Amino acid sequence: MEQLFYIFCTTLPSHIIPFALFWNFRWCSRTAALVLVAANVLCKMAAAAYCLANGLYFRNLELLFAVVGFLIYCAFLRLSPFKMLFTYLLIVDYMLIIRGIAAFLAVQAFDIPIQGWGSSFICILLYGVTLPLLLRFSRRVADLVYRTDAPQLWRIIWLIPAFVTVLTLVFTNAYLESSAGSAFFLFCRVGLLVCVFAIYYVLLQSLEGVEQQAALRQRLIFESRLMETQIAEQKKHSALMLEHMSELRRQRHDLRHQLAAIRGLAGKDDARLKQYIDELLDAIPAAPQAYCENQAVNAIVSHYAALCRERGVEADIRLVVPAKTEQVTDAELCVIFGNLLENALEACARMTEGRRFLRLVSAAHLDTLTVTMDNSFDGHADFDGERFRSSKRDDFGVGLGSIRAVARKRGGDARFEPDGRVFRSSVYLRV
């Protein structure tokens, strides 16, 4: 009975701790897993009782039941078997080390049998003292293991704690019966305890680095897709705007001719009609200003220039943009100019006092295009080093990030910085 109770006390943590670590994660069925683990424990104790009653060696069966328990967790916990094995081996190493230290104390301090009642209570006491620390450390491990998605890494990294486990079993269990009370035995167990946690600590730091790299990679992928989407939308927008401007130009031309024809047909006595027609001709707006040779950029800039006039924003726009470029698409140019002008107008709209203005200048020299934008703003900028918080939503905007992404894609870069109540933007890229 003493030996049976000892087996129960020393092996139960390996069945209970995984539930404590992974309880909040995704399970197929916690209830079914609990039932099967409980059944596994009962079968193990029944097998242990049979072996002890007939003088048989139980250690091999104990290993078998541990494997069965692990397979139960793998079947019901939605986690990679390699991830589960990585965490499970930490628990096994901890259990083996505590069992060894308990055996040393039983022989050396109290001179009692290793697998007696006294050793069982020593194990319980050691578990009670150390288990809170283990759970705190292991929860961090389990959470990081669950979040880190690197299949190739997990297929290899579990071998490190597996090696420690095998070393613990082979190197120290041979001395369990004969040398459990020696200082060398205690040194081996404590040394293995330190090594286990040191190894897991190093692996934990490595996993955090992997997770950060994965998060950065996901962010870059997201921003790249977002930029591609914005470029596509900007391409559609600029095409529609060009078509609209072309249609307006045609209608304006036709209307002038029609009014001129009506004026010519009017009789000499129709002075009032002629005066009205002259007023209509004068009221027809002139063709939009050509800011640069690039039609797509000109359409975007013309649109925002009109908005500036409507909203009372002083606009000083001087552009040199080639009609055609070898590297940069019209859509990418529209992303740069459109976002610069949109952000500038939004910044001016938030101002409650002071002069509202924007100054947009671009120049082309050899194969390099430089674009600068100075605009007034209220002096408040939420900047994280790369991005500014959007005024449209409680999040960091993507407009400036899209500008920088396009510039870097084309061998350039972008810089944004507040200077008092003036926000300065500068972009350069290869065209």
pLDDT along the chain (431 residues), means of 10: 69 75 75 83 78 68 76 80 81 76 72 69 79 77 73 79 74 51 63 73 73 70 67 66 64 63 63 68 62 86 88 93 86 88 91 92 90 91 59 54 87 90 92 85
Supply the pLDDT for residue 395: 41
Q: What are phi and psi of 418, to 5 degrees?
A: -80, 140
Q: How many CA atoms lie within 13 A of 18 on its CB side?
A: 29
Rg of the chain taking only CA atoms, in angstroms: 38
Are 65 and 211 within one domain?
Answer: yes
Q: How far apart are CA 84 and CA 266, in angstroms?
A: 93
277 is a domain residue = no
In the chain, how long is the greatest CA-to-CA distance? 133
Supply the pLDDT for residue 71: 83
Are 10 and 150 within one domain?
Answer: yes
370 is a domain residue = yes
Angle at 330 between CA 328 and CA 333, to 5 degrees: 70
Q: Per the structure block, which two tokens stand in for 359?
A: 């100054």
251 is a domain residue = no
- Kindly report whether the global pTM for this prediction surpasses the value 0.85: no
DSSP 148-176: ---HHHHHHHTHHHHHHHHHHHHHHGGGT
Q: How far apart are CA 185 and CA 172, in angstroms?
A: 7
Q: The domain spanning residue 325 has which CATH number? A: 3.30.565.10
Which domain range does residue 341 map to? 290-430
Supply the pLDDT for residue 133: 79
Q: How many CA atoms lie within 13 A of 335 on its CB side?
A: 27
User: Of 218, 83, 210, which Cα lies nearest the Cα of 143?
Assistant: 83
Are 104 and 215 within one domain?
Answer: yes
Angle at 167 between CA 166 and CA 171, to 5 degrees: 120
267 is a domain residue = no
Are 213 and 297 within one domain?
Answer: no
Supply the pLDDT for residue 370: 94
Q: How far apart are CA 238 and CA 240, in angstroms?
A: 5
Supply the pLDDT for residue 174: 47
Angle at 329 between CA 326 and CA 332, to 5 degrees: 135
Supply the pLDDT for residue 244: 62
